[in-house]
A = this chain, B = another copy of it.
Amino acid sequence: MTTPIRKNFSSDNVGPISPAILEAMIAANQGAVPSYGGDPWTERLTALVRQVFEAPEALVFAVSTGTAANALALSAMVPPYGAVYCDGAAHIQNDECGAPEFFMGGAKLLTLPSRDGKLSPDALSANLEAGRSLGINRVLPTAISITQATEWGTVYTPDHVHAVGDLARRLGLSLHMDGARFANALATLDCSPADATWRAGVDVLSLGATKNGAMAAEAVVFFTPSLAHEFGRRRKRAAHLWSKARYLSAQLIGYLADDLWLANARLANRAATRLADGLGALDGVELLFPVQANELFVVLPDRLIARLQSAGYVFYDWYLPDGVAPRPGASPIRLVTALDITDADVDALLAAAR
């Protein structure tokens, strides 16, 4: 039996569970264990995260969606009269239907525009200073959130994160990283998880797994444990505490064990690079960003888009980033790869495009 050619490039959440993760869930399916996180898998997950991130004090809370991880993390970092700075393209701003504001009790997201989805320390610094002069009529910024890899498929260097982290520390803010595609970024950076996060100043990480092979599992990782005060109750009142918590923990254990997360991410990134190389060689194709993770934002001639669609390919129309002028007869689209997209899948798309 042969696997059919994969034609869905719309997102990294359309595929199945990674076999090793499903096996970890099945292995957890025996006997009666304490509920609500009192089980051995949940205990082991914390130990594993601490080891992987070289962070012996880290606190780990599993939830089933990335939006839950982000919104809960921010709710622990920002009071209801506060604000969090983020990039104008951030998932928390555009794609979570207001979950962060809901969980934070009405606190605000303040966005800064950017070219490539990354917050600039200089722009942040200027804005923070201006905001502070306005006193109690203005919300109080207490956190910064960055996305790694960014919404434009680019990757922050540790130095860049470090600069944001330093600014945060200096001004008394805390730093959140939305790591829905953290593994994809890490595979590109080729540095340690610790260097990419807490050593660069990240206080709280939303560690994604769902887009990279899990069923529905993300972890909120507190490198600054004091921010996790009563976080268990926050998770419960948001209805994100699983009674059978072992099945969340088992997914994340399967994800991190034996570096599966990096192996999966490398597969997805490699497919994206192969796709970018192939498409980039075609006439009239413009890559909007260097491909550093598993997403391509690319301007294609409209007839090429039509050809792919009529061949059954699925992807999203997208929009142009700030400062890029539209080109007649061509349109931006997004293509997302994942661990289950093979060289053959990529080559089939390229063949259809030619």
Listed in ascending order, the chain A residues whose CB lies under 8 Å from chain B are 4, 6, 8, 10-11, 13-17, 22, 26, 29-36, 63-68, 71-72, 79-81, 83, 94-99, 101-109, 130, 133-140, 210-211, 215-216, 230, 232-234, 236-244, 247-248, 317, 319, 340
Q: How far is the CA of A243 from the CA of B63 in the complex (A)?
A: 13
Would A96 and B244 be within 8 Å (CB), given that A13-B35, A140-B233 are in contact? no
- Chain B CB count within 10 A is highest, among A15, A17, A106, for A106
- Chain B CB count within 10 A is highest, among A35, A64, A241, for A64
A contacts with B: majority SS? loop
Docked-complex contact A98 and B237, CB < 8 angstroms: yes
Would A68 and B239 be within 8 Å (CB), given that A26-B22, A210-B244, A319-B130 are in contact? yes
Docked-complex contact B29 and A17, CB < 8 angstroms: yes
- Which residues from chain B contact A244 at a C-beta distance below 8 Å? 13, 17, 210, 215-216
- Which residues from chain B contact A139 at a C-beta distance below 8 Å? 97-98, 233, 237
Q: How far is the CA of A102 from the CA of B134 in the complex (A)?
A: 19
- Which residues from chain B contact A108 at a C-beta distance below 8 Å? 98, 101, 109
Q: How far is the CA of A320 from the CA of B319 in the complex (A)?
A: 29
Docked-complex contact B65 and A81, CB < 8 angstroms: no
Docked-complex contact B99 and A101, CB < 8 angstroms: no
For the complex formed, measure the closest distance between the CB of A234 and the CB atoms of chain B, giving whole angstroms. Answer: 6
Q: How far is the CA of A175 from the CA of B103 in the complex (A)?
A: 27
Would A65 and B14 be within 8 Å (CB), given that A97-B81, A230-B79 are in contact? no
How many chain copies? 4
- Which residues from chain B contact A63 at a C-beta distance below 8 Å? 239
Not counting A10-B34, A97-B139, A210-B243, a sample of 4 additional A-B residue pairs whose C-beta atoms are within 8 angstroms of each other reads A13-B244, A63-B239, A97-B138, A102-B105
Q: How far is the CA of A231 from the CA of B32 in the complex (A)?
A: 35
- Which residues from chain B contact A22 at a C-beta distance below 8 Å? 26, 29
Docked-complex contact B130 and A236, CB < 8 angstroms: no
Query: Which residue of the partner chain B has the closest CB to A81?
Result: B233
The answer, among B26, B101, B242, for a CB contact under 8 Å with A101, is: B101
